[in-house]
Structure 1
Amino acid sequence: MSKSKPFPLPPGTLIGGYRVVRRLAAGGFGVVYLAAGADQQMVAIKEYLPPSLVTREPGLLAPQIAPDKLSLYRLGLKSFFEEGRSLAQISHPSVVSVLNFFRENETVYLVTEFLEGASLQDFIVVARDLKNDKVFRESTIRSLFDEILRGLRIVHQHKMLHLDIKPANIFITDDNRSVLIDFGAAREVLSKEGNFIRPMYTPGFAAPEMYRRDTTMGPWTDIYAIGACMFACMHGFPPSEAPQRVTEDKAAQTLKRFRGIYSDDLVEIVQWCMALDPLERPQSVFALQKELNRAGARRYTQLTVGDKVKQQLGSMLESTKKNVLKSTDVGKKT
Structure 2
Amino acid sequence: MSSSPDSPPNSPPGCPADCPPLPEGYQLYGYRIERMLSRGGFSIAYMASDSAGTPVVVKEYLPIQMARRAAGSQALIVSSASQGKFNHGMRSFLEEARLLARISHPNIVAVLDFSKANNTSYIVMRYEDGRSLEEYLHRLRESGRKIREDLLRNVFVRLLSGLREVHSQKLLHLDLKPANIYLRKDGHPVLLDFGAARWGLGSPDGSLGNIYTRGYAAPEQQGSGEGMGPWTDIYAIGATLYACLDTGQAPQAADLRMNADEVEPAQRRWAKAYSLQLLELIDWCMQIPVRARPQSVYALQKVLNGELLDLVDPAWFRK
Name the TM tier (shorter chain): 0.7 to 0.9
- Structure 2: distance between partners of 1:162 and 1:197: 19
Report the 3-state secondary structure (helix = DSSP H, G, I; strand = E; otherwise coil) of the residue aligned with 2:81: helix
C-alpha contact (below 8 Å) 1:163/1:201 kept by paired residues: yes
Change (3 A) 1:214 1:74: closer
Which of 120, 137, 140 in structure 2 is aligned with 1:107? Answer: 120
The 8 Å contact of residues 189 and 199 in structure 1, kept in 2 or not, is answered as no
> Aligned Cα RMSD in Å?
2.1
**1:264 paired residue number:** 276
**Is 2:95 aligned against 1:61?**
no
Output the CA distance in 1 between the equivalents of 2:290 and 2:147: 27
Q: Quote the residue 2:156 is aligned against.
A: 145
- Distance (whole Å) between structure 2 residues aligned to residue 289 and residue 191 of structure 1: 31
Q: Does the CA-based 8 Å contact 2:59-2:122 persist in structure 1?
A: yes
1:163 aligns with 2:174: yes
SS in 2 for 1:256: helix
Residue equivalent to 1:287? 299
Residues 293, 192 of structure 1: alpha-carbon distance in 2 compared, 3 angstrom cutoff: closer
Identity, % of aligned positions: 41
Give the aligned partner of residue 239 of structure 1: 251
Match of 2:237 in 1: 226
**Given that residues 210 and 223 in structure 2 are in contact (C-alpha distance below 8 angstroms), is that contact kept between their aligned partners in structure 1?**
no
Cα gap change, 1:64 to 1:192, in 2 (>3 Å): farther
2-side partners of 1:232 and 1:238: how far apart? 5
Say if 1:203 and 1:214 are closer, same or farther in 2 by CA, change over 3 A: closer
Secondary structure of the 2:143 match is coil
Q: Is 150-159 or 74-83 further displaced after alignment?
A: 74-83
Aligned amino acid, residue 88 of structure 2: L
Letter in 1 for 2:253: E
Cα distance between partner residues in 2 of 1:253 and 1:190: 34
CA-CA distance at 1:177 after TM superposition: 2.3
1:72-123 Cα deviation digits (max 9, x unpaired): 1111111111111111001111000000001112211100011121100011
8 Å Cα contact 1:161-1:186 kept in structure 2: no
Structure 1 residue 129, shift from structure 2 partner: 2.6
Shift of 1:191: 3.7
**CA contact 2:90–2:197 (8 Å) conserved in 1:** no
Paired residues of 1:48 and 1:107 also in contact (CA < 8 A): yes
Q: 1:36 to 1:167 in 2, by over 3 A?
A: same
Which range is displaced more, 251-260 or 135-144? 251-260
- Paired residue secondary structure (1:202): coil
How far did 1:255 drift? 4.3
Instruction: Measure, in 1, the Cα distance between the counterparts of 2:141 and 2:239.
Output: 16
Q: Provide the C-alpha distance between the structure 2 equivalents of 1:184 and 1:112, rounded to a whole number of angstroms.
A: 15
Matched residue SS, 2:302:
helix
Cα distance, 1:287 vs structure 2: 1.2
The 1-side partners of 2:92 and 2:79 are apart by 19
Q: Structure 1 residue 23 and structure 2 residue 23: aligned? A: no
User: Partner of 1:33 in structure 2?
Assistant: 46
Of Structure 1 and Structure 2, the greater helix share is in: 1
Give the number of the structure with larger relative contact order, counting CA–CA contacts within 8 Å between residues 6 or more apart.
Answer: 1
Seen in structure 2, the aligned counterparts of structure 1 residues 244 and 254 have a Cα distance that, compared at 3 Å, is farther
- 1:32-56 CA distance string (max 9 Å, x none): 1111111111111011111111011
Query: Are the equivalent residues in 1 in contact too, given 2:107–2:159 (CA < 8 A)?
Result: yes
| Aligned pairs (5 A) from 1:127-138 | 127-132=140-145, 135-138=146-149
- Aligned residue in 2 for 1:205: 216
Residue 42 (1) aligns with residue 55 (2): yes
